A and B are shown apart, each in its own frame.
Chain A
C-alpha cells in the first residue's frame, strides 16, 4: 500500500484548486462575453424588441356615419356596449377559459357556437367577442376575476343599430363581420391601414355602397402593454375621425306608409322625384331585420330567412325582374310617336283580336274595343292596338327606344348588385340561346312584346325610372338614395347627384299626348276607382303581368294557385302638370293591377302630395275586378 505524503498531497490538492479557480474564471469570462454581446453589440436590436414588446399601437375604430332620411330621421345609428372578448393567441386552452368564464358570466351554447364560427373566420391576432352587450353587473363581476383570465378582456364597442328594425332594410342593408371578400375590397381601395381594428363591413344596401364614406378615419393609441397584452397606460393618442353621415333623398314617413300599404303581400315600390332622380321611397317586401346580422346571425334565423318561400332576403325593387304588362303601353305609344310610327289621332279598328300568320292574339275584351285611337288605347288598355303597333315598329325599334328609357339596363342606383332585367331584341336572343333555331327572332314574338309580355322583364326601379323620365319630359337623372354626404369634421356637404345625366330630346307634344292619356286612366280608365275623389291630377297606368300561360283558357283569379296568380303593376306620376313624384308598384301574384297595385299608389300619393295618412293598409279593391283590363 502506498502511503501518502501529506505535503505532496496538499500540493496536488492546491493545484486542483487552481484548476478549479481557472475554470471558474473561464466560465465567468464566457458569461461576461455573452453579456457584452447582448448588452453592447446587440443592444439596439434588443432595445427595439423591448420597445415593440412594450408599446402596442392600438387602433381606435371610428364611429360609423349615421344614415338619416331627408328630414333628419335616423335610420342607422351606433350605440356603445360592453363586450367580453378573448384573444385566442394569448390563451392556452380556449375551452377551459370559456368554461371558466361561464362560471361568472352567462354564456349560452349559442354564444359558444358563434364564437367558434368567428374563430374559424378570424384573422390571426384579433380579439373575438364571446359575449356582447354585458350588463354593468356582469362587467363588475368579470373585472373582479380578471386576473384569472389572461388574454380575456372587456371592451367598449360601438354597435350598429337600425332603430326601425325591418323597416327599409333592403335599402339600408346591414353590416357584418369583415370576411375575406371584404378584405380584398379594402386592399383594392388601399384602406388596409385605416381598417386596422375594424371588425364590421357593409354587406348590402347603402351600408355596402357607401362603406368607405361611412367608415371614417381610424385613430391610434400608443399604449404600454404588459405581457398579458393589457394596456397599462397610454403614451400618445391620435383621435379617430367619425365616418361621414348620409342624408337620404328618401322620405322615411312616405317609405313607412308605402311599406304598410303592402300589408303582408310581396312586392316592391319605387318612388322617384322626377326633377332630381332622388328616390323618395324604395320598398321591397317582405323584408328582414338587419339588426340580426350585426353580431353575426345565428343559424336558426339564417335558415328561416333563407328557406322562407317568400324570399325576404331578395330586394325585389332592384333584383326582381317582372314582365311589365300593360304599364309598358304608354312607353310603346311614346316610342311610336317619337319614331313616327303612329299619330295620336290615328284610329284602328279592334275586332277583339289581332291576326298574325293565322294565329289570333286575343284582346281581353270579347268583341274588342271598337275604334281605338292612342288616348283610348291607353285609357282602356287595348291590347289589339299594341299588337298591331309592335308589329309595325319591329323588335329592334322597340328595344332601342325602351333602352333609352333605361329599361333592360342598370339604373346606376347607389346600391350594389342591381339586376339588368331583360330588354328583348334580336341581338339579345342571339346571345341568350345556344341552339341556332332558338337564336332566331321570330316576328310573331314581337307581337306580345307590345303589351309588355313575352321576353320582357324589368325591375321595379327600371319601371319607376322610365316613368320619372316621361314625367320629367325626357331629362334623365340617375336614380339615387343619398342626397348629400356630410363630412362630420368640417360639416361640408357633398351633393351626390346635382346634374342630369342626359336629355333624350323627346318632343313635348308627344309627351303631352302620353300624359293626357295617363291622366285619363286615373280619371275614366282602369285607375279611376283607385283615384276617385283625389284632390290632385295624377297620371297612371295599370298593368297585370302573366306569370302562367293559360293557353287560351279563361283566367279566374280565385281558381288559380296563389303563386301562379298574375302580378299586379301600376305606374304613376303626380301632379300631372308639374310632377313631384313618379312611382312604380309591383304586387307579386296580386292579381289585377287596378285592384292590387293602384290603391297603394293612391295612399302614397295622398300622403306625399297632401300629407294625408292612411288608417289601414291598402285593401285590394274587389269591385275593380268587374272593370278588368286585358
Chain B
C-alpha cells in the first residue's frame, strides 16, 4: 500500500473530524480541562481516571453536537422538552430518593436525572418558541414563555433541587431576556420578586432556609451547617496571592474541605493556586463566555442567536454561582464548577452546550447566503 495515499486518507479523515470544531472555543475549553485534571490530581487522584473517561465521552458528544445543524435542533426542541417534562413528572411520582431528595429516575438499565436534561431542553424550546413568532413577540408570548419555563422549574424545585432549578430558570430567563422583553417589565419583575421574597421564604424547605441563614452567619454552627462555608473560605483565604502549591493545600489534603472533588473543588484550586490561579480561572471563563457571546452575535437565525446566548450564559451562571457559594457570598446550592468538578452528567451537559455553540458558529453563513 502506498503510504502517501494512506497518509492522505488519514489527513482527510482528520480534517473532516476536526472541521466542525471551533478552535478558540476548543482551546479555551481544553485549557479549562487541563486545569481540571490538575486540580483533580490534587483533590482526588483516585478519581482522575474516571474523570478522564468522562471527559472523553463528553468530547465525543460535543463533536457529535457540533455537526448537528441548528435546523435539526429546532425540530428536536418540542419533543425533547415534552420528554423532559414527562420524565420530571415520573420522577415526582416514582423517583428514587437519595440524600433526602427525589431526583433520580430508575429506568431499569440506568438511573437518569431528568432535571439535567432540562438545562439544555429549556433554552432549546424557548428559542424555538420565539423563532416561531415571526412577528415582534407580544406580551402574551412572553407570558406563554414564562409558563413553559416555570413548569419544569417548579417540578425541579419540588424534588427538591434548588441548584438545578435556578440553572434551568436562568437558562430560560436568558432566552426571554435576549428575545427582547422590555426593560419596564424586567424592572417590574425585579420589584415584584423583591416584594415576593418573604412569601418565597415560606415556601422554601428548612434545609434551604438554613443554607441562606448559614451564608450570613456561618460561625453560628461551625460543626454543622456552617462547616462547609467556614472551611472553604479558610481554604481560599489561606491560599493567599500565590497559593500553597499543588497538592500542598492543608485544608484540601487534610480533608477539611467537604465535597472537595465536586461542588467545592474551587476551594481546593484556590487554596493551592491562590489569587493568581483564581484570576486565570476567571479569565478562562470570561474568554469562554466572550467567545460564546460573539458566536451568538454572529448567528444566522433568531433561534441560533437566542440559543447561543442562553447556552453561553449557562456557563456564566454555573461559574458565578459555584465560585460565589464556595467563597461565601452566595448560599450553598448544588452547582458544580463548570468543566472542573467531578461528575459525568454535568460535564456532558456542558459539552453539549459547547457543541451547540460550535454548530451555530459553523452554520452562521448558510442562511444569510
> Which residues from chain A sit less than 8 Å from chain B, CB to CB?
1-4, 9, 12-14, 16-17, 20-21, 24-25, 27-28, 30-32, 34-36, 38-40, 42-43, 45-47, 49-51, 53-54, 89, 224-228, 232
Does B245 count as interface, using CB distance less than 8 angstroms? Answer: no
Q: Which of A2, A3, A13, A28 contacts B320 (CB 8 A)?
A: A28
Q: Which of A2, A42, A54 contacts B237 (CB 8 A)?
A: A42
For A50, the closest partner residue in chain B by CB is: B238
Asked if B177 and A16 sit within 8 Å, CB to CB, the answer is yes
Q: How far is A24 from B286 in the complex, measured between Cα atoms in Å?
A: 8
For residue A115, give the distance in angstroms from its CB to the closest CB of chain B: 21
Asked if B329 and A39 sit within 8 Å, CB to CB, the answer is no
Does B188 count as interface, using CB distance less than 8 angstroms? Answer: no
For A6, the closest partner residue in chain B by CB is: B302
Asked if B134 and A25 sit within 8 Å, CB to CB, the answer is no
Asked if A49 and B238 sit within 8 Å, CB to CB, the answer is yes
Asked if A17 and B255 sit within 8 Å, CB to CB, the answer is no
Q: How far is A429 from B328 in the complex, measured between Cα atoms in Å?
A: 76
List B199-247 residues whose CB lies under 8 Å from chain A: 223, 231, 233-241
Given contacts A32-B278, A225-B254, are A49 and B178 in contact (CB under 8 A)?
A: no
Does B341 count as interface, using CB distance less than 8 angstroms? Answer: no
Q: Which of B236, B309, B329 contacts A46 (CB 8 A)?
A: B236
Q: Which of B234, B275, B327 contacts A40 (CB 8 A)?
A: B275
Asked if A224 and B286 sit within 8 Å, CB to CB, the answer is no
Asked if B240 and A31 sit within 8 Å, CB to CB, the answer is no
List 3 A-B pairs, minimum CB-CB distance, nearest first. A46-B237, A50-B238, A38-B237
Asked if B293 and A21 sit within 8 Å, CB to CB, the answer is yes
For A20, the closest partner residue in chain B by CB is: B313
Asked if A224 and B241 sit within 8 Å, CB to CB, the answer is no
Given contacts A35-B278, A227-B256, are A50 and B240 in contact (CB under 8 A)?
A: no
Asked if A46 and B327 sit within 8 Å, CB to CB, the answer is no
- Can you list 7 contacts pairing A with B, beta carbon distance less than 8 Å? A3-B135, A13-B296, A16-B177, A16-B309, A38-B237, A39-B236, A53-B256
Q: How far is A39 from B282 in the complex, measured between Cα atoms in Å?
A: 15
Asked if B293 and A17 sit within 8 Å, CB to CB, the answer is yes
For B223, the closest partner residue in chain A by CB is: A89
Q: How far is A1 from B296 in the complex, measured between Cα atoms in Å?
A: 27
Does B274 count as interface, using CB distance less than 8 angstroms? Answer: yes
For A52, the closest partner residue in chain B by CB is: B234
Q: Which chain A residues lie closer than 8 Å to B135 at the CB level?
A: 1-4
Asked if B234 and A17 sit within 8 Å, CB to CB, the answer is no
Q: Which chain A residues lie closer than 8 Å to B309 at the CB level?
A: 13, 16-17, 20
List B56-106 residues whose CB lies under 8 Å from chain A: none
Chain B positions 281 through 302: 1 when the CB is less than 8 Å from some CB of chain A, otherwise 0: 0100110011001001100001
Given contacts A14-B297, A39-B237, A226-B254, are A31 and B316 in contact (CB under 8 A)?
A: no
Asked if B237 and A45 sit within 8 Å, CB to CB, the answer is yes
Asked if B254 and A35 sit within 8 Å, CB to CB, the answer is no
For A27, the closest partner residue in chain B by CB is: B320
Q: Which of A25, A36, A39, A225 contacts B239 (CB 8 A)?
A: A39
Asked if A54 and B329 sit within 8 Å, CB to CB, the answer is no
Q: Which of A3, A17, A89, A225 has the most CB of B within 10 A?
A: A17
Does B361 count as interface, using CB distance less than 8 angstroms? Answer: no
For residue B19, give the distance in angstroms from its CB to the closest CB of chain A: 26
Q: Which chain A residues lie closer than 8 Å to B256 at the CB level?
A: 53-54, 226-227
Q: Which chain A residues lie closer than 8 Å to B275 at the CB level?
A: 35-36, 39-40
Asked if B180 and A226 sit within 8 Å, CB to CB, the answer is no
Asked if A4 and B279 sit within 8 Å, CB to CB, the answer is no
Q: Which of B174, B178, B274, B320 contacts A39 (CB 8 A)?
A: B274
> Which residues from chain B sit less than 8 Å from chain A, CB to CB?
134-136, 174, 177-178, 180, 223, 231, 233-241, 250-251, 254-256, 270, 274-275, 278-279, 282, 285-286, 289-290, 293, 296-297, 302, 305, 309, 313, 316, 320, 323-324, 327-329
For B276, the closest partner residue in chain A by CB is: A39
For B296, the closest partner residue in chain A by CB is: A17
Q: How far is A39 from B236 in the complex, measured between Cα atoms in Å?
A: 6
Asked if A13 and B178 sit within 8 Å, CB to CB, the answer is yes
Q: Which chain B residues lie closer than 8 Å to A16 at the CB level?
A: 177-178, 180, 309
Q: How far is A35 from B238 in the complex, measured between Cα atoms in Å?
A: 11
Asked if A40 and B177 sit within 8 Å, CB to CB, the answer is no
Q: Which chain B residues lie closer than 8 Å to A42 at the CB level?
A: 237
Asked if B302 and A9 sit within 8 Å, CB to CB, the answer is yes
Q: Which of B136, B231, B279, B290 has the most CB of A within 10 A?
A: B136
Q: Which chain A residues lie closer than 8 Å to B255 at the CB level?
A: 226-228
Q: Which chain B residues lie closer than 8 Å to A4 at the CB level?
A: 134-136
Asked if A13 and B234 sit within 8 Å, CB to CB, the answer is no
For B239, the closest partner residue in chain A by CB is: A39
Q: Which chain B residues lie closer than 8 Å to A47 at the CB level?
A: 237-238, 240
Given contacts A17-B309, A39-B274, are A31 and B237 in contact (CB under 8 A)?
A: no
For residue A340, give the distance in angstroms from its CB to the closest CB of chain B: 80
For residue B312, give the distance in angstroms from its CB to the closest CB of chain A: 8
Q: Which of B180, B236, B316 contacts A13 (CB 8 A)?
A: B180
For A47, the closest partner residue in chain B by CB is: B238
Known: A34-B324, A53-B231. 19 other contacts (CB 8 A): A4-B134, A9-B180, A9-B302, A13-B297, A13-B305, A20-B178, A20-B313, A28-B286, A28-B320, A30-B329, A31-B329, A36-B275, A38-B327, A40-B240, A40-B275, A46-B233, A49-B238, A53-B250, A89-B223
For residue B194, give the distance in angstroms from its CB to the closest CB of chain A: 18
Q: How far is A226 from B250 in the complex, measured between Cα atoms in Å?
A: 9
Q: Which chain A residues lie closer than 8 Å to B327 at the CB level?
A: 31, 34-35, 38
Asked if B177 and A28 sit within 8 Å, CB to CB, the answer is no
Q: How far is A3 from B133 in the complex, measured between Cα atoms in Å?
A: 11
Asked if B293 and A43 sit within 8 Å, CB to CB, the answer is no
Q: How far is A47 from B251 in the complex, measured between Cα atoms in Å?
A: 10
For residue A605, give the distance in angstroms from its CB to the closest CB of chain B: 66
Q: How far is A385 from B178 in the complex, measured between Cα atoms in Å?
A: 124
Asked if A27 and B316 sit within 8 Å, CB to CB, the answer is yes
Asked if B178 and A54 sit within 8 Å, CB to CB, the answer is no
For residue B133, give the distance in angstroms from its CB to the closest CB of chain A: 9
For residue A127, give the distance in angstroms from its CB to the closest CB of chain B: 15
Q: Which chain B residues lie closer than 8 Å to A20 at the CB level?
A: 174, 177-178, 293, 309, 313
Asked if B237 and A32 sit within 8 Å, CB to CB, the answer is no
Asked if B177 and A43 sit within 8 Å, CB to CB, the answer is no
For residue B230, give the distance in angstroms from its CB to the closest CB of chain A: 8
Q: Which chain A residues lie closer than 8 Å to B274 at the CB level?
A: 39
Q: Which chain B residues lie closer than 8 Å to A53 at the CB level?
A: 231, 234, 250-251, 254, 256
Q: Which chain A residues lie closer than 8 Å to B297 at the CB level?
A: 13-14, 17
Q: Which of A36, A38, A89, A227 contacts B233 (CB 8 A)?
A: A38
Given contacts A35-B236, A47-B240, A53-B251, are A21 and B290 in contact (CB under 8 A)?
A: yes
For residue A406, give the distance in angstroms from its CB to the closest CB of chain B: 58
Q: Which chain B residues lie closer than 8 Å to A27 at the CB level?
A: 316, 320
Q: Which chain B residues lie closer than 8 Å to A45 at the CB level?
A: 237
Q: Which of B233, B234, B323 contacts A31 (CB 8 A)?
A: B323
Asked if B282 and A31 sit within 8 Å, CB to CB, the answer is yes
Asked if A31 and B324 sit within 8 Å, CB to CB, the answer is yes
Q: How far is A43 from B238 in the complex, measured between Cα atoms in Å?
A: 6
Q: How far is A587 from B136 in the complex, measured between Cα atoms in Å?
A: 114
For residue A482, give the distance in angstroms from its CB to the closest CB of chain B: 46
Q: Which chain A residues lie closer than 8 Å to B241 at the CB level?
A: 39-40, 43
For residue B123, give the distance in angstroms from its CB to the closest CB of chain A: 13
Q: Which chain B residues lie closer than 8 Å to A12 at the CB level?
A: 180
For residue B361, give the distance in angstroms from its CB to the closest CB of chain A: 15
Q: Which of B236, B286, B302 contacts A38 (CB 8 A)?
A: B236
Q: How far is A1 from B135 in the complex, measured between Cα atoms in Å?
A: 7
Q: Which of B233, B285, B305 contacts A28 (CB 8 A)?
A: B285
For A2, the closest partner residue in chain B by CB is: B136
Q: Which chain B residues lie closer than 8 Å to A49 at the CB level?
A: 234, 237-238
For B257, the closest partner residue in chain A by CB is: A227
